[in-house]
Structure 1
């Protein structure tokens, strides 16, 4: 929504940009590696650019790429992307009370552009939904400033990665760069006991089910890890799960 004057001219828009600026380099690094990985895995530059602009979901992109290249059925690709991005269902449910006053098309745009860090920074800044019209404008402008920085960092660096991946010789071995990037992100996010369990279980199941066709081991691994962690969370005290 950053293209609307009433949004980007509001002081909260710049506040949101400043809040996101410190994490923008990390987002750009991930996007750069994702752009390289898309091209080096066999996608054409046009396909990689289209995925960058229209999918806009790094983890889902990297999960879907091998399935697309393997010729997997569309339902397998959709199921994998859905499992990877289940967290956005939770984000949407929470943000509904903040954005429900907006027209549908604006809610859709806000939903598409809101990423993990945008959601985290926004909800930390605004603990309660808006009560007045001015608060509605302030909150939407702040959220737009957040995801404007995220979108710029991701899209710009990903497109650079597509160019670099297309220009660099295959002998350099950059096709594995996206995987290495995700490993680093995974290690930084595994900061609770349940998250460590989820990472260990999903990894073990993915290896054990490697023989499944069409990379279905990824879908199976995600499903097993999610169900196990839901079961454990209901039986563990909060201080142990953290």
Structure 2
């Protein structure tokens, strides 16, 4: 790494950490819930850590849990996870110019891309800032997942019965993060707020129609492609 790149990373880290802190704190309960659910499904701490490190996909990890418990095959898990995470293709494409130089740093930074990081980053952010933001959120997710599994392992089994749906609070938090991201974008483009809201509503309606036509598993890819085309054409 060049001296200039090192200085750039050091200078941008404090500001990047402050910007990433709200998103990192917001995903802690979600990741801990995943860890608790995974431990209840007899996943080890190492398995929880590896899924967070290698997968780093909240919705994909939550979707994989019941499928793994029901004995679903590898290709079924792969198809469901890939369809859910297909939304990262346009996100990765639009943010590729912000990646740092060097194969390992570029690959690592690209792997740590997430919804929260994408919402936190700015178009003019330096590569060092992008790396610091993504690493902060990524490591928070992994550590919180392991802590959740450890907490579930230490708590008496009768404290959390099987009738308690721990996945419901996670859905609420994820919905809150989506609304926060939408609100942040509306603040940036104040003169187009009504148009953005209408386009978002159109995308939601189309997704609901695809759920009814294709089912809750296979609607992801076409709905993501349609939403990407609509929002890209509107330059959002």
**The one of 169, 178, 199 aligned to 1:189:** 178
Q: Which runs of 4+ in 1 moved over 6 A?
A: none
Q: Distance in 1 between matches of 2:151 and 2:73?
A: 30
Contact 1:80 1:218 in 2 (8 A): no
Q: Deviations over 1:177-217 (max 9, x none)?
A: 13431244236536631354366457657xxx8xxxxxxx6
Unaligned runs of 5+ in 2: 183-199
TM-score of the pair, normalised by structure 1: 0.71
Q: Secondary structure at the match of 2:101?
A: coil
Higher alpha-carbon deviation: 170-179 or 158-167? 170-179
Q: Distance in 2 between matches of 1:185 and 1:85?
A: 15
**Which position in structure 2 is the counterpart of 1:120?**
119
Q: Deviations over 1:5-56 (max 9, x none)?
A: 9268521122111111122211112111111121123423332232122222
Q: Distance in 2 between matches of 1:23 and 1:48?
A: 21
| Displacement of 1:155 | 1.9
Unaligned runs of 5+ in 1: 127-138, 210-216
**Which position in structure 2 is the counterpart of 1:155?**
142
Contact 1:36 1:162 in 2 (8 A): yes
- Say whether 1:31 aligns with 2:20: no
Q: Distance in 1 between matches of 2:206 and 2:139?
A: 31
| Displacement of 1:143 | 0.8
Q: Distance in 2 between matches of 1:34 and 1:160?
A: 10
**Which position in structure 2 is the counterpart of 1:133?**
none
TM-score of the pair, normalised by structure 2: 0.73
**Which position in structure 1 is the counterpart of 2:88?**
88
How many residues align? The count is 210
Cα RMSD (Å)? 3.3
**Which position in structure 1 is the counterpart of 2:72?**
72
- Say whether 1:219 aligns with 2:227: no
